[in-house]
Structure 1
Amino acid sequence: MSNILVVGPSWVGDMVMAQSLFKLLHQRHPGCTIDVLAPAWSHPILKRMPEVNQALELPLGHGQLGLKTRWQLGKSLAGQGYTQAIVLPRSWKSALVPFAARIPQRTGFLGEQRYVLLNDRRPLHRQSLDQTVKRFVALGLAKGEQPDWGDSANIPQPQLRVDPINQQRLVAELGLDLSRPAVALMPGAEYGPAKQWPLDSFRKLAQQLVQQGRQVWVLGSGKDQAAGQHIAQGQEGGAGQSGFVFNLCGRTQLADTVDLLALTQQAVTNDSGLMHVAAAVGTQVHAIYGSSSPAYTPPLTANKVVHYLGLECSPCFKRTCPLGHLDCLRGIKPSDIAPGQGGRL
């Protein structure tokens, strides 16, 4: 029986997309065991994936080298009976734990001089592996096997488990009102402002949604609290209040966001980790792209609407707009998305 260790990615969206690989591995190796080595923040997401046996903590921050820690962790895993390791990040340091654990087959893409650390090295064919999810899933194929996916619709799609009991708790504790259809707005994008639709556009959209009989839940981390406040100001909802816009940024954990998104009818989001979470719980995703491209990191669901202008200057994949105008995002108007206003929400 296959006993596989996957060294996971360090971003929320990438971790959700990695579930496509886990699904493929179970299809190819029925009864296999999959453990995922990943930062502690990602464990709530991994616990919502039935394909994952257990999440192992990598006790290092994003980008931290920690060679001694990685080596010691690898030595501690040497007796776990892993038959294969699949290393999703393309860095040298990410391949050190499987090497120290003496896992017989260590699979990953060529790069960063990992010739000794990996003994099942795969070339990265950028033309055929033109999406992040395709690159992840390709590492689950046999060496030399040519993928024939067409587009990502032919790849197993992520599907996160939802906790109904936690949903009930959140509705009660956050004072949410389920009498109106809920739309989630996610204004954050960890990568940078060139992926963030203007807050005034989110605010105007929230107003239009309320006028159309919806309620709005603004979701994000503590870093997004000020953004959520800007969107909700003057139309806040909550226990004992009459508004229909709820700023929930920083008031929930990552697993809570999974459950809240499953209660919404639609989610309007930047190209972010929460976009992939929304896609993986089945809500309709309205994905807004600026400096990035829907061809590279699309929401992995058929239930999506992509808003992307495809200007001459985009995608630039920059954190901030190099031209200073952000036309790729400013050109997308709330009326392009809101119900009854020419959009499809």
Structure 2
Amino acid sequence: MKKKILVIGPSWVGDSVMAQPLYRRLHQRHPGLELHVFAPAWTLPLLARMPEVAKSHLNPFGHGALRLMERWKIARLLAREKFDQVIVLPNSLKSALIPLLAGIPLRTGFLGESRYGLLNDARELDEQALPMMVERFCALGEDKNCPVLRPIPHPQLQADGSALQALAAKLGLDLSRPAIAFCPGAEYGPAKRWPARHFAELAKRFDEAGYSVWLFGSPKDKEIGEDIARLAEGKTLNLCGATGLEEAIDLMGWVDLAVCNDSGLMHVAAALDKPIVALYGSSSPDFTPPLSDRAAIVSLNLDCSPCFERVCPYGHTHCLENLQPEMAWQAARQLLAAKPHSAAETE
């Protein structure tokens, strides 16, 4: 009998990328599965690139918004889909309300925020056995008390190469040079952001080596991008806020390498199988690493990190301030030595 499953998706872009191995595993376990995902607007372009997802449903609720009557109305709409099961990936109480109100018979998720009455397939999370977020997501795709099937495959996104020329013309991109992507933002907070002056210094090195440098990010990252562009003295093109996520995916599919903070775009670059220089300060690659075989983790591994704080509790952010551009440059050189230019690959 074919199954119909709803996943309550994560709120962050990076987490949404890391959920794709779960979707793939659900299809393996349930041939003919019809998989739907309930997710916020900014993650919908990712779901559109995942063939495992038959349909996505907009989650209009931001952090902290209860809006119980609106949740009830959406639950009634979802009830019409007659799902067999829901898998709730966020650990909040609110994320488990709609599945209950929709009357979905099997409601799976980890315990958290007193969700005993909302989930009837509640799991205890063993953080030692499942240290990585992608492992925790995949665990919810198995029957209760069954181990995660390993190895867990990496997420995979496909760029639309046919859109490249039109995007380049629209944004004024020079495709005659190979390009490097810089992802200087981090939605979580400044303790995850490498300083603008370091990005700028690295951009100058790439320019001297014959590369264009494109800055990617949301409108919130536009100011950071402007700082980098100014400090780099014209050696970068600031695309922060100039592209939607779908366009960013297509452009990042063409670059030779990405230099990223621990951010959603880092996970997008990994899913595109781009070589990645991943810069870690307050967060940990043990929990949310780039899921790629071609990633270099660059971190000072200070005693005070990872602290997982949005802002450095000591006020100095030495974990990133003291992480010099030379370290990122050497990591990038090693990765690029093993990879030809994208321009050459498309000829």
TM range (shorter): over 0.9
Whole-angstrom CA distance in 1 between matches of 2:56 and 2:129: 30
2:247 aligned with 1:256, yes or no?
yes
Whole-angstrom CA distance in 2 between matches of 1:249 and 1:342: 25
1:171 alignment partner in structure 2: 168
2:179 aligned with 1:188, yes or no?
no
1:240 alignment partner in structure 2: none
* Alpha carbons of structure 1 residues 139 and 123: separation in structure 2 relative to 1, 3 Å: same
2:8 alignment partner in structure 1: 7
2:211 alignment partner in structure 1: 214
* Root-mean-square deviation (Å): 1.7
Once the 2 structures are TM-superposed, how far is the Cα of residue 61 of structure 1 from its aligned partner? 1.9
**What is the one-letter code of the residue matched to 1:24?**
R
Specify the SS of the correspondent of 2:329.
Answer: coil
Once the 2 structures are TM-superposed, how far is the Cα of residue 165 of structure 1 from its aligned partner? 2.7
Specify the SS of the correspondent of 1:337.
Answer: helix
Whole-angstrom CA distance in 1 between matches of 2:182 and 2:176: 18
Once the 2 structures are TM-superposed, how far is the Cα of residue 343 of structure 1 from its aligned partner? 6.1
Whole-angstrom CA distance in 1 between matches of 2:153 and 2:143: 17
Once the 2 structures are TM-superposed, how far is the Cα of residue 148 of structure 1 from its aligned partner? 5.8
**TM-score, normalised on structure 2?**
0.92
Whole-angstrom CA distance in 2 between matches of 1:275 and 1:245: 19
Could you tell me whether the CA contact under 8 Å between 1:189 and 1:271 is conserved in 2? yes
Whole-angstrom CA distance in 2 between matches of 1:342 and 1:11: 30
Whole-angstrom CA distance in 2 between matches of 1:189 and 1:292: 11
Once the 2 structures are TM-superposed, how far is the Cα of residue 244 of structure 1 from its aligned partner? 4.9
1:162 alignment partner in structure 2: 159
Could you tell me whether the CA contact under 8 Å between 1:193 and 1:319 is conserved in 2? yes
Once the 2 structures are TM-superposed, how far is the Cα of residue 278 of structure 1 from its aligned partner? 0.6
Once the 2 structures are TM-superposed, how far is the Cα of residue 268 of structure 1 from its aligned partner? 0.3
1:329 alignment partner in structure 2: 320
**What is the one-letter code of the residue matched to 1:9?**
P
Unaligned residue ranges in structure 1 (runs of 5+): 237-242
Whole-angstrom CA distance in 2 between matches of 1:25 and 1:341: 36
**What is the one-letter code of the residue matched to 1:210?**
D
Could you tell me whether the CA contact under 8 Å between 2:197 and 2:231 is conserved in 1? no
1:121 alignment partner in structure 2: 122
1:101 alignment partner in structure 2: 102
* Alpha carbons of structure 1 residues 20 and 63: separation in structure 2 relative to 1, 3 Å: farther
**Count, aligned residues:** 335
Unaligned residue ranges in structure 2 (runs of 5+): 337-347
* Alpha carbons of structure 1 residues 217 and 291: separation in structure 2 relative to 1, 3 Å: same
Whole-angstrom CA distance in 1 between matches of 2:118 and 2:332: 55
Once the 2 structures are TM-superposed, how far is the Cα of residue 64 of structure 1 from its aligned partner? 1.4
2:340 alignment partner in structure 1: none
2:226 alignment partner in structure 1: 229
Could you tell me whether the CA contact under 8 Å between 1:279 and 1:285 is conserved in 2? yes
Once the 2 structures are TM-superposed, how far is the Cα of residue 174 of structure 1 from its aligned partner? 0.9
Once the 2 structures are TM-superposed, how far is the Cα of residue 274 of structure 1 from its aligned partner? 0.6
Could you tell me whether the CA contact under 8 Å between 2:215 and 2:236 is conserved in 1? yes
**TM-score, normalised on structure 1?**
0.93
Q: Deviations over 1:215-273 (max 9, x none)?
A: 1001111111122122222767xxxxxx6521111110011111111111100010001
* Alpha carbons of structure 1 residues 234 and 101: separation in structure 2 relative to 1, 3 Å: closer
* Alpha carbons of structure 1 residues 340 and 36: separation in structure 2 relative to 1, 3 Å: closer
